[in-house]
Amino acid sequence: MSTPVLNLTFHGIGEPPAAVGVAERDVWLSEADFAASLDAIGTLPEATVSFDDGNASDLQIALPALRERGIGATFFVVAGRLGEPGYLSAEDLRALRDEGMTIGLHGMHHQRWRGLSDDELDEEISEARRRLEDAAGAPLDAAACPFGAYDRRVLSRLRRAGFAAVFTSDGGWASRGAWLQARNTLRAGDGAAAVATIAADDGAAARSKHKLKTLAKRWR
């Protein structure tokens, strides 16, 4: 029997810099809400933590809070933003790795992978992966689909690339060790109460719902 796991993901923490677009500001948490969320997550042994986009707040704010609580995390970075103002640099990726954190792929240009041409998909997956591996100084074997957008063609491309795990934004509980992993996004205004609400959802029911959702996406 597979073990259930609750994957929780953050984006930016604190005040979004000017470089962050309007569409992404909805997933930025205040420092207080972030700290409260982490405290709640710390009581859930079945929970995992990840961060998307590669915002500079990952290193400046999130890392110290994670270190203080002894929580590990995976940081899914947009390769095309590496070194840009407000985002992580190559040196930052190595600093995160030195602290025991994991670096993952979140594409090249933060665009939906579904519907891209073969060349565009290759840039988003293979070229972006190479850039991040060079920057981090280590291989990457986990990917997170931008905006949670995927279909069977995207999944097939990720499998051929040899990724050990692929993360979505489908919500609910997942099965530990499964190749395709649902995640739950914390949004602006969320805190300990939101974490508790997500965790209180029945794991078996949520996994069944997720299975139906992913089957539909895989076959479209």
What's the CA gap between 92 and 49, in Å, rounded? 18
- Report residue 91 as tokens: 């040196």
Four-CA torsion 20, 24, 30, 31, nearest 10 degrees: -70
Q: What does the pLDDT read at residue 193?
A: 98
Query: For the chain, where are the alpha helices, taking DSSP H only?
Result: 22-25, 31-41, 57, 63-69, 90-98, 118-122, 128-136, 152-160, 192-200, 203-218
What's the CA gap between 43 and 134, in Å, rounded? 36
Strand partners, 86: none
Q: What does the pLDDT read at residue 26?
A: 95
- Report residue 174 as tokens: 């997942």
The number of distinct structural domains making up the chain is 1
Q: What does the pLDDT read at residue 19?
A: 78
- Report residue 202 as tokens: 């029945």
CB 179: neighbour CB atoms within 10 A?
Answer: 12
Whether 125 contacts 153, CB under 8 Å: no
Give the CATH number for residue 209. Answer: 3.20.20.370
Per-residue pLDDT of the chain (220 residues; tens, 9 = 90+): 579 999 999 999 999 988 788 888 999 999 999 999 999 999 999 999 999 999 999 999 999 999 999 999 999 999 999 999 999 999 999 999 999 999 999 999 999 999 999 999 999 999 999 999 999 999 999 999 999 999 999 999 999 999 999 999 999 999 999 999 999 999 999 999 999 999 998 655 555 555 555 545 555 4
- Domain extent, residue 45, equals 4-218
pTM of the model: 0.92
Q: What does the pLDDT read at residue 202?
A: 65
